[in-house]
Chains A and B, each alone.
Chain A
Amino acid sequence: MKTKQKTALRVLVSVLIVILSLALLQRLLMPKYVDGIVEGAFVAEYYKEVKDHDLLFVGDCEVYENFSPAVLWQDFGINSYIRGSAEQYIFQSYYLLEDAFRYETPKVVVFNIQSLQFSEAQSEAYNRMSLEGMRWSPTKVKAIFASMKEGEHFLDYLFPLLRYHTRWSQLESTDVEYLFKTKPVSFNGYYMRVDAKPAENVPKGKPLADYSFGDKAWEYLDKMVELCEKEGVELVLIKAPSLYPYWYPQWEEQMEEYAVQKGLPYINLLELQEETGIDYTTDTYDGGLHMNLSGAEKLSRWLGAWLMEHTSLTDRRAEPELSARWEEKLSAYEAEKERQYEFYGIEKP
């Protein structure tokens, strides 16, 4: 009996050692996204929020770099959040929205339609950045299966250690420092950059063999429309004013037609340069791909006004608890501005 107990105890301890050490290794080897490429941390940050947003943005870098929820709050009292990540494909946006609806039902959803250009995932690395931060749920499983490229395995998502098993040779001090903690890298999903690089020599779009959006892209846009209808959420489609990747007139035609057919508002901000006040010599940090802080704040002011006028959004600045939360966020937002102005050696406007 004693021998049996001893054996059972040894096996139990061994199993525990294996599980704990593998869990620890997994944490250590997974990218932390706290500096350098921080976009991979955006999706997970959402879960730390108090979820009573009135406005959710979904989309790729054209939302998380082009709109500032801080300005929407400051100027209009809109409590918003951006669920966006790098090259977030439309099916990922759909599932991130479905995931967000598990926690809250906003009044309005703004979806940036640039990602319709891709019907299938283009990069495993971008898949990882969009999917790894999602909390486990049937929605996440569906998102993974919708996203996986050839050669990817669900098991690698379930046990990311299998994916990152070779990262031990590239570990940095932050991997140890942020082993059990993380730090905020976005401002309600907004990725701030204050530096500027004028848009010059923006390449023209190359002629395409087929300008039609893919079936899968349309399928998920339809699903998003249906989901919003079901939840009683107003959906607004936008095209952010990024000059590149090129937005073809043929794509614009398809979008306009779709919006009319579904009775949805569609705003192409590329055509509203005068109204938004975007100056491509000062408002972009990478030559026209993404807005910098100046551009994002201009766009947010214009869009905030439009949303207040055309949707059911209301000013919530009178709510003390929410205001207090935003006070804290705004001070972090201002502090990051200061830090970046200093870092890039830019004079504060």
Chain B
Amino acid sequence: MLFTSYGFLGFTAALFLLYYLLPKRCQQPLLLGASCLFYLAAGPGYILYILTTALTVWFAGVRMGKNAVEASAWLKEHKEELSREERKAYKEGRKRVRRRWLAGCLLLNLGILAVVKYLNFIIANWNAVLTAAGRTGQLSFFALALPLGISFYTFQAVGYLVDVYRGTVEAEKSPLRFLLFISFFPQLIQGPISRYGDLGKTLYAPHGFDAKQVSFGLQRMLWGYFKKLVLADRILAAVMTVVGDVGTYQGAYAAVGMLFYTVQLYADFTGGIDVTIGLAQALGITVKENFVRPYFSKSLKEYWRRWHISMCSWFRDYLFYPISTSGAMQRFTKFTRKRLGDKIGRRLPVYLSSFVVWFSTGLWHGASWNFIVWGLLNYAVLMLSEELEPLYERFHKRFAVKGKLWYRLFQVGRTFLLVCVLNIFDCYATLGETVRAIGSVFTVRNWSVLWDGSLLKLGLTGLDYGILAGGCALMLGVSLVQRGGSVRERIHEKPYWARFVLWYGLFLAVLLMGAYGVGYDQSQFIYNRF
């Protein structure tokens, strides 16, 4: 059920009415029922996957939680009788049991993800190697359909499991409440990847009708629909034209494609998250922000702190830290420091952990070399920037440019261009096509297409370009205002009729300029694919 379909709007409207009309004790079962229905709408078979994850993770969480509580109680009871070493040994013993639960459950659930998402990719690569080696015995592909939102709910469940293992959250006792946590439908298909400690606080609480929260939620949804339907789905036509025929659209066309895709990705993904957060807010539930004006970043490092925050922090907390603080890595650090000296020896383990993180980030986005290379290119730029940091510092000191507006704008522009180039790896069908397209920007001299009317042959009319320019200007304006606080709060302070004109105007813009209905293919949100 696409967020932009009439079915979804009708579904949420019905849920909304029931949610506030029925007694508050019905809210949780209602949300769970709605989430299951939403999931079933994608295909009845898929629900088995999410149920398996929910049940196994919940059970492992309960076992780990019980183990920790029992250990703590036993230690308290026998505190006086045991020596420090005995207490430590007991703790270690119980922790080992918890670790087994954790490892087993991770293996199962990440295994499911690996099989349904990556098995055919592995087979394709294996077959390619065999072909290159002139060997026969190619493996057949499996007809595996990717269950809806599997990358998101698996990561959310894994995050919960690790948090329980670490003792940062208590294990959820109710399997149904846990199922609601990982299946909460607004965030099921494109995130954010919520933490149990954050989402659980408001997800399980009863909510009365709060007019301000509800209207703010609906306003946020409307803004999300504007970005998705008026901008992302409009520019999609040009992006598809350019990336669909790399032989024809080279040079300036490829550059335009990169710029357009970056706009599309932003409007699509942030629009979808706006709908998610807005819908949750209208239901009284707080879902954490996933973006903080990412295209205002002055460096790629800053960009990754502002873009898809929940995914980045997940990789940081559940992959980077465990790897970089693991016993093996400590030993490796010791080894490298001894052999290569303090400076390099300290950095190598960080680079190694980062490599694993960025390789995984690329792989998480899709089973394709495009994504892996995209991840590793991000890694390369980040590591290079890290290495060049002292040089930048010297430059900033020498020329005193840091903090100057023009220099900040230059940094923002430079980062934006870099992101445009990196993002395009999502788009082309193969890595070869991507490299060819990027290369053509420097080798094919056809910049006249930018002003000779050729851009009007990419599936967009002059009016479309006008709407896109206006929409982008509006997004930029909103982001600028956002720096000073919530835009909706500011609007809320205005007189009633000013607010009415503004929000109704935005509604009419979506209604009249949105790319929906006959003549338009309902386009999935880009992150639904991941």
> When chains A and B are docked, how far (Å) is the Cα of A53 from the Cα of B39?
54
Asked if residues A166 and B512 are in contact (CB atoms below 8 Å), the reply is: yes
> When chains A and B are docked, how far (Å) is the Cα of A18 from the Cα of B511?
13
Asked if residues A169 and B504 are in contact (CB atoms below 8 Å), the reply is: no
Proximity bits, A139-164, B CB within 8 Å = 1, else 0 = 00000000000011101100001110
> When chains A and B are docked, how far (Å) is the Cα of A18 from the Cα of B501?
11
Q: Which of A10, A14, A155, A168 contacts B6 (CB 8 A)?
A: A155
Proximity bits, A283-324, B CB within 8 Å = 1, else 0 = 000000000000000000000000000000000000000000
Residues in B whose Cβ lies below 8 Å from that of A161: 511
User: Can you spell out 12 A-B residue pairs with CB atoms less than 8 angstroms apart?
Assistant: A17-B504, A18-B504, A153-B6, A153-B517, A161-B511, A162-B511, A162-B517, A165-B513, A165-B514, A165-B517, A166-B512, A168-B512
> When chains A and B are docked, how far (Å) is the Cα of A10 from the Cα of B499?
12
Q: Which positions 164-205 of chain A face chain B at CB distance < 8 Å?
A: 165-166, 168-169
Asked if residues A165 and B512 are in contact (CB atoms below 8 Å), the reply is: yes
| A163 in contact with B518 given A10-B496, A18-B504, A155-B6 (CB within 8 Å) | yes
Residues in B whose Cβ lies below 8 Å from that of A124: 518
B325 CB, min distance to chain A CBs, angstroms: 53
Identity of the chain A residue whose Cβ is nearest the Cβ of B500 in the assembled complex: A14
Q: Which positions 477-504 of chain B face chain A at CB distance < 8 Å?
A: 496, 500, 504
Residues in A whose Cβ lies below 8 Å from that of B517: 153, 156, 162-163, 165-166
> When chains A and B are docked, how far (Å) is the Cα of A161 from the Cα of B514?
12
Closest 10 CB pairs of A and B: A155-B6, A165-B512, A169-B463, A124-B518, A153-B6, A14-B500, A162-B517, A168-B512, A10-B496, A165-B511
Residues in A whose Cβ lies below 8 Å from that of B508: 25
A250 CB, min distance to chain B CBs, angstroms: 34
Q: Which positions 105-164 of chain A face chain B at CB distance < 8 Å?
A: 124, 151-153, 155-156, 161-163
Proximity bits, A1-30, B CB within 8 Å = 1, else 0 = 000000000100010011000000100000
B514 CB, min distance to chain A CBs, angstroms: 7
Residues in B whose Cβ lies below 8 Å from that of A17: 500, 504
Residues in A whose Cβ lies below 8 Å from that of B519: 166
Query: Which of A152, A153, A155, A165 has most B Cβ within 10 Å?
Result: A165
> When chains A and B are docked, how far (Å) is the Cα of A18 from the Cα of B503?
11
Chain B binding surface, main DSSP class:
helix
Tell me how many residue pairs across A and B have CB atoms closer than 8 Å. 34
Residues in A whose Cβ lies below 8 Å from that of B6: 153, 155
- Residues in chain B within 8 A of chain A (CB atoms): 6, 463, 496, 500, 504, 508, 511-514, 516-519
Residues in B whose Cβ lies below 8 Å from that of A10: 496
Residues in B whose Cβ lies below 8 Å from that of A25: 508, 512
Identity of the chain B residue whose Cβ is nearest the Cβ of A156 in the assembled complex: B517
Asked if residues B511 and A151 are in contact (CB atoms below 8 Å), the reply is: no
Asked if residues A151 and B518 are in contact (CB atoms below 8 Å), the reply is: yes
> When chains A and B are docked, how far (Å) is the Cα of A42 from the Cα of B463?
33
> When chains A and B are docked, how far (Å) is the Cα of A152 from the Cα of B518?
7
> When chains A and B are docked, how far (Å) is the Cα of A169 from the Cα of B463?
8
> When chains A and B are docked, how far (Å) is the Cα of A10 from the Cα of B6?
29
Identity of the chain B residue whose Cβ is nearest the Cβ of A6 in the assembled complex: B496
> When chains A and B are docked, how far (Å) is the Cα of A180 from the Cα of B222?
31
> When chains A and B are docked, how far (Å) is the Cα of A179 from the Cα of B513?
21
A7 CB, min distance to chain B CBs, angstroms: 9
> When chains A and B are docked, how far (Å) is the Cα of A169 from the Cα of B519?
15
A314 CB, min distance to chain B CBs, angstroms: 46
Identity of the chain A residue whose Cβ is nearest the Cβ of B6 in the assembled complex: A155
Query: Which of B496, B504, B516, B517 has most A Cβ within 10 Å?
Result: B517
> When chains A and B are docked, how far (Å) is the Cα of A156 from the Cα of B518?
9
> When chains A and B are docked, how far (Å) is the Cα of A162 from the Cα of B508?
11
Residues in A whose Cβ lies below 8 Å from that of B511: 161-162, 165
Proximity bits, A24-56, B CB within 8 Å = 1, else 0 = 010000000000000000000000000000000
B505 CB, min distance to chain A CBs, angstroms: 11
Residues in A whose Cβ lies below 8 Å from that of B513: 165-166
Other CB < 8 Å A-B pairs besides A151-B518, A156-B517, A166-B512, 7 of them?
A124-B518, A152-B518, A161-B511, A162-B517, A163-B518, A165-B513, A169-B463
> When chains A and B are docked, how far (Å) is the Cα of A272 from the Cα of B512?
52
> When chains A and B are docked, how far (Å) is the Cα of A17 from the Cα of B503?
13
Residues in B whose Cβ lies below 8 Å from that of A168: 512
Residues in A whose Cβ lies below 8 Å from that of B512: 25, 165-166, 168
> When chains A and B are docked, how far (Å) is the Cα of A166 from the Cα of B513?
6
A9 CB, min distance to chain B CBs, angstroms: 11
Residues in A whose Cβ lies below 8 Å from that of B496: 10
A345 CB, min distance to chain B CBs, angstroms: 37
> When chains A and B are docked, how far (Å) is the Cα of A162 from the Cα of B512?
8
Residues in B whose Cβ lies below 8 Å from that of A156: 517-518
> When chains A and B are docked, how far (Å) is the Cα of A18 from the Cα of B505?
11
> When chains A and B are docked, how far (Å) is the Cα of A234 from the Cα of B504?
55
Identity of the chain A residue whose Cβ is nearest the Cβ of B461 in the assembled complex: A169
> When chains A and B are docked, how far (Å) is the Cα of A55 from the Cα of B512?
43
Residues in A whose Cβ lies below 8 Å from that of B516: 162, 165
> When chains A and B are docked, how far (Å) is the Cα of A14 from the Cα of B499?
11
> When chains A and B are docked, how far (Å) is the Cα of A18 from the Cα of B516?
21
> When chains A and B are docked, how far (Å) is the Cα of A164 from the Cα of B500?
24
Residues in A whose Cβ lies below 8 Å from that of B500: 14, 17
B449 CB, min distance to chain A CBs, angstroms: 24
Query: Which of A17, A161, A162, A168 has most B Cβ within 10 Å?
Result: A162
Residues in B whose Cβ lies below 8 Å from that of A169: 463
> When chains A and B are docked, how far (Å) is the Cα of A18 from the Cα of B500?
10
> When chains A and B are docked, how far (Å) is the Cα of A333 from the Cα of B516?
42
Identity of the chain B residue whose Cβ is nearest the Cβ of A162 in the assembled complex: B517
Identity of the chain B residue whose Cβ is nearest the Cβ of A128 in the assembled complex: B518
Residues in B whose Cβ lies below 8 Å from that of A166: 512-513, 517, 519
Residues in A whose Cβ lies below 8 Å from that of B463: 169
> When chains A and B are docked, how far (Å) is the Cα of A124 from the Cα of B516?
15
Residues in B whose Cβ lies below 8 Å from that of A162: 511, 516-517
Identity of the chain B residue whose Cβ is nearest the Cβ of A22 in the assembled complex: B511
> When chains A and B are docked, how far (Å) is the Cα of A153 from the Cα of B463?
27
A254 CB, min distance to chain B CBs, angstroms: 34
> When chains A and B are docked, how far (Å) is the Cα of A14 from the Cα of B518?
30
A20 CB, min distance to chain B CBs, angstroms: 12
A155 CB, min distance to chain B CBs, angstroms: 5
> When chains A and B are docked, how far (Å) is the Cα of A163 from the Cα of B518?
7
Query: Which of B6, B500, B513, B518 has most A Cβ within 10 Å?
Result: B518
Identity of the chain A residue whose Cβ is nearest the Cβ of B504 in the assembled complex: A18
Residues in A whose Cβ lies below 8 Å from that of B518: 124, 151-152, 156, 163
B230 CB, min distance to chain A CBs, angstroms: 11
A36 CB, min distance to chain B CBs, angstroms: 19
> When chains A and B are docked, how far (Å) is the Cα of A207 from the Cα of B287?
61
> When chains A and B are docked, how far (Å) is the Cα of A346 from the Cα of B514?
47
A337 CB, min distance to chain B CBs, angstroms: 37
Identity of the chain B residue whose Cβ is nearest the Cβ of A29 in the assembled complex: B512
A129 CB, min distance to chain B CBs, angstroms: 14
A251 CB, min distance to chain B CBs, angstroms: 31
Identity of the chain A residue whose Cβ is nearest the Cβ of B522 in the assembled complex: A151
A258 CB, min distance to chain B CBs, angstroms: 35
> When chains A and B are docked, how far (Å) is the Cα of A25 from the Cα of B512?
10
Identity of the chain B residue whose Cβ is nearest the Cβ of A124 in the assembled complex: B518
Identity of the chain A residue whose Cβ is nearest the Cβ of B520 in the assembled complex: A166
> When chains A and B are docked, how far (Å) is the Cα of A163 from the Cα of B516?
9
A335 CB, min distance to chain B CBs, angstroms: 38
A52 CB, min distance to chain B CBs, angstroms: 38
